[in-house]
Structure 1
Amino acid sequence: MKNVTITVDDGVIEWARVEAARRGSSVSRMVGEMLAEKMRQEDAYAQAMRNALRFESWGESEGPYLRLSEMR
């Protein structure tokens, strides 16, 4: 684990202290958990984007969508 120093407004740190106490945690642990969750979300989004960009069409049609008769 690494220590970091952050600068926040007085109102933000007051909220963070109250929120951490409500959760039974420290501000440090709460911020670490928030950052870890943000990282997981970004990783999941990036993976979904890679999967979407790899998508290959199942065929061609004359319009923007396959006709029902072409799907059978």
Structure 2
Amino acid sequence: MRNVTITVEDEVLEWARIEAAKRNTSVSRMMGELLAEKMRREDAYERAHQAWLHDDRKWRSDGKPYPKREELYDRGRDQG
């Protein structure tokens, strides 16, 4: 692990100290965990986005208009 120095406003540091105390941890550890969680979320989003971009399934129309909602849900009524 590496150490970093950050600059924050006094009120932000006060909040961080209180929040870390509530979590029974240090400000340093809490910030490391917050940054790691942000990294995981962004990595997961990027993987999902790339999977969607490279998805070979054809979710597109073949040029015909999509059926109207009424057409989809009224079919069962006509059949009786």
Q: Which residue of 1 aligns with 2:42?
A: 42
Q: Which residue of 2 aligns with 1:6?
A: 6
The aligned runs of 1:1-72 (5 Å cut-off) are 1-56=1-56, 57=58, 61-63=62-64, 65=66
**Normalising to structure 2: TM-score of the pair?**
0.75
Amino acid in structure 2 at the alignment position of 1:52: W
- Which one has the largest radius of gyration? 2
RMSD: 2.1
Query: Structure 1's 42 and 59: CA in aligned 2 closer, same or farther, altered over 3 A?
Result: closer
Report percent identity of matched pairs.
60
Whole-Å separation in 2 of the counterparts to 1:20 and 1:45: 27
Whole-Å separation in 1 of the counterparts to 2:16 and 2:60: 53
- Structure 1 unmatched runs, 5+: none
Amino acid in structure 1 at the alignment position of 2:3: N
How far off its partner does 1:63 sit? 2.5
Whole-Å separation in 1 of the counterparts to 2:14 and 2:59: 55
Query: Structure 1's 34 and 62: CA in aligned 2 closer, same or farther, altered over 3 A?
Result: same
**Normalising to structure 1: TM-score of the pair?**
0.82
- Structure 2 unmatched runs, 5+: 73-80
Whole-Å separation in 2 of the counterparts to 1:23 and 1:2: 22
Whole-Å separation in 1 of the counterparts to 2:4 and 2:60: 52
